[in-house]
Amino acid sequence: MPKTLFQKIIDREIPAKIEHEDEHCIVIHDIQPQAPVHLLIIPKTVIPRVEAATTADQAVLGHLFLTAGLLAKKLQLANGFRLVVNNGPDASETVPHLHVHLLAKRQLTWPPG
């Protein structure tokens, strides 16, 4: 299978503004931000989408949420933030590589559009 856009970013074949990186994930700034803070928390292990995850992915999935919490503290997002995972075309998934959007620094409405 060809590499996903995110694999190319992880492999440094495509540039990105990196906010954080560790052995399990990379966090980049979204190139089309929907909020003043819009980060993508991407596992280095390719999991196409939530429904494709297995129990073997449990630790990395948990790591993504812990990383979101660490970034929220680092970026002083105590007033709130939203985590979003799109799964499939009807959810506007554009890259078949699971990732978590962290959005903050503006009022986020409910329900989301």
Catalytic positions, written as ranges = 99
Q: Are 28 and 19 in contact (CB under 8 A)?
A: yes
The two three-digit tokens of residue 17, written as one number = 């503004």
Runs of H (alpha helix) within 2-85: 5-10, 58-74
